[in-house]
Amino acid sequence: MTELPNEGFGDRPLVRRIQDALRDRIRTGDLQPGEKLASMRRLATDFDCSLGIVKQAVNTLVAQGYLRSSPRRGVFVADTQPAAKEILIVLPHLEVERLHLALSGVRRALRHTSYRISIHAQVDAEDEEIPAYLNNSQIAGVLLMLPSRGDRDVVLRAAAAAALPTVVVDIADRIAGTDTVLIDPIETSRLGIQHLFAIGHRRLGMLVPAADVRTISGIEEHIIDSVRRLGMPADRIVPVRVDASPERSLEKAGQPWRLAKQATIEMLEKDPSVTALVGIGPQMTLGAALGAQASGRTIPETCSVLGLLGDSSALQSFDPPITIFDNPLVDTCEHATIRLLGRIDGFDAAPGQIKLSARLVERESIAPITE
């Protein structure tokens, strides 16, 4: 029996693994251009699978240009290999600092393929036509990451018109009939708040970006409701909405973290019983930490700081470094790309949804209440 590659996820479809095995044999020269492939029945025996699975794998490789089929003669290795096609990644709202994590996941999923990565970072929500970058004949599929409503409308409509398989990485299942890999901000936030309550904190300040397309509208209400349904003391969470819109930041001549810093100072002055601060996103978290220090608090001795939904070099290098609850962006993007490859190859015909669990990155900015 031929040994199949099993790197990555153990539940990877068998037909995909057979394709990878045959492609690897072609690329390494084990199967030479013009060489006839073994019969379908022989391949089914070699791969210890059904005849239908082998036919599906071979037909896809024929469609991709790795093999050519000759009626009544058999299947042969193509004389010339197909040009590498592109996976288009549309990144309307992913911070540059996190881009390398997203791309790591995408590259991990593409490592056994010939696909290249093409990045488009902006979307014109007013554009009613197919964006020019979607007319490229080399594009095999689209990965749309953290879109706003306008981005979803434009890109998904254009991708459908161009008959391009598409998978969305989003913060909620907001698009019916589309493959979606979820970054769940409500679950992530609930876990973070639960963690602070578990180590003795009784009153938490929560800094929320009030005008950010990357978060769910009214996210603080969703979080508090989630906490309440679990029997935790939701009335001990003090939400502070920070208008982080570009217009507001420009008006105040500062970045969103500056606005969050000032909001934190004002909150701690009004409510000194707060012993922990939670920031939704790296900008709010950085502002919360700076605001705590400006208010005379010592992190974590007199005020713990926890970041939710995003990391940054500023949080990692802060003194002390900031603990975060985050979604595994690398794994999320790997899952999304694997889903996209399945759509490209004609598998997983029914759109589905994947939701990954959040993870705790422990640093030095939180401490238990010992009183």
Residues 141 and 216 in one domain: no
Look up tokens 């459908």; give the residue. Answer: 160
Instruction: State the total domains in the chain.
Output: 3
Are residues 275 and 166 part of one domain?
no
Task: Let me know the angle formed at the C-alpha of 350 by 143 and 9, rounded to the nearest 5 degrees.
Answer: 60
Residue 363 within any structural domain of the chain: no
C-beta atoms surrounding 285 within 10 Å: 31
What's the CATH number where 50 sits?
A: 1.10.10.10
Q: What is the pLDDT of residue 5?
A: 56
Contact, 191 vs 224, CB < 8 A? no
Confidence of residue 96 (pLDDT cuts 50, 70, 90): low
**Which phi and psi angles does 324 have, rounded to 5°?**
-135, 155
Asked if residue 366 is part of any domain, the answer here is no
Residues 262 and 339 in one domain: no
Looking at residue 186, what is its pLDDT? Answer: 84
Q: Do 22 and 61 share a domain, yes or no? A: yes
279 lies in which domain range? 185-326
pLDDT reading at 128 higher than 60 = no
Judgement on whether residues 310 and 206 belong to the same structural domain of the protein: yes
Of 216 and 19, the one with more pLDDT: 19
Please tell me which residue, 104 or 212, carries the higher pLDDT value. 104
Strands ordered across the beta sheet of 323-326: 237-242, 204-209, 276-280, 304-308, 323-326, 359-361
Q: Output the pLDDT for position 365.
A: 97
**Distance of alpha carbon 271 from alpha carbon 347, whole angstroms:** 55
* Residue 10 confidence class, pLDDT cut points 50, 70, 90: very low
Contact 186, 219 (CB under 8 A): yes
The model's pLDDT over 307-329, given as tens digits with 9 standing for 90+, comes to: 998 888 899 999 999 999 988 88
Predicted confidence band of residue 215 (pLDDT cuts 50, 70, 90)? low
Lowest mean pLDDT among 86-95, 169-178, 192-201: 169-178
Residues 207 and 311 in one domain: yes
| CA–CA dist 102, 96 (Å, integer) | 10
Same-domain check for residues 318 and 351: no
In this structure, is residue 93 part of a structural domain? yes
> Is residue 147 assigned to a domain?
yes
> Is residue 371 included in any domain, yes or no?
no
Confidence of residue 190 (pLDDT cuts 50, 70, 90): confident
Residue 204 pLDDT: 95
pLDDT, tens digit, 9 for 90 and up, residues 292-304: 999 999 999 999 9
* 99 and 148 inside one domain: yes
Same domain for 155 and 191, yes or no, is: no
Residue 1 falls within a domain, yes or no?
A: no
**Is 294 part of any domain?**
yes
Comparison of pLDDT for 110 and 91, the residue scoring more: 110
What is the reported pLDDT for 127? Answer: 47
Measured at the CA of 215, the angle between CA 213 and CA 216, to 5 degrees, comes to 105
- Mean pLDDT is lowest, of 188-202, 223-237, 267-281, for 223-237
Q: Is 268 inside a domain boundary?
A: yes
CATH of the domain at 273: 3.40.50.2300
What is the predicted pLDDT for the residue at 20? 81
